[in-house]
């Protein structure tokens, strides 16, 4: 039974790490940050449930449920943030094309490539 507890602890820590990485990669996207915050909170709650609940079986069940729900939460909000960002990028490109602006590739604008 001890290996089950350690497995649950590792999954909770991995979930906290995934939430932290998602927060870092969000770059201001509120939707992704909501998912990341939920994942970190869920991982902490899973760890607390393993430490606080007296019945080991109940603690494992609660940790499993909270971990799965938090992982799905992170996935859903990260996908929503990605879809929103893609839509904003396409709308910005359409607006630039409609205004007749010349689109300069980012590699040229950053100076990595000197000219076409």
CA neighbours closer than 13 Å in the CB half-sphere of residue 16: 13
Give yes or no for a contact between 63 and 49, defined as CB atoms under 8 angstroms apart: yes
| pLDDT number for residue 97 | 79
Rounded Cα gap, residues 90 and 109, in angstroms = 19
What is the mean predicted confidence (pLDDT) over 1-6?
A: 85
Rounded Cα gap, residues 106 and 112, in angstroms = 9
- Domain extent listing, the chain: 2-109
Query: What average pLDDT does the chain have?
Result: 87
For the stretch 6-53, pLDDT in tens is: 999 999 999 999 999 999 998 888 999 999 999 999 999 999 999 998
């Amino acid at each position: 039974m001890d290996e089950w507890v350690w497995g649950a602890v590792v999954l909770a820590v991995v979930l906290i790490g995934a939430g932290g990485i998602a927060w870092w990669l969000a770059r201001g996207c509120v939707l992704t940050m909501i998912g990341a915050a939920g994942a970190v909170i869920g991982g902490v709650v899973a760890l607390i449930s393993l430490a606080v609940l007296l019945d080991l079986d109940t603690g494992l069940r609660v940790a499993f449920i909270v971990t799965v729900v938090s992982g799905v939460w992170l996935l859903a909000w990260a996908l929503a943030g990605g879809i929103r960002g893609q839509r904003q990028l396409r709308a910005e490109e359409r607006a630039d094309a409609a205004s007749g602006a010349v689109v300069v590739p980012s590699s040229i604008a950053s100076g990595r490539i000197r000219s076409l």
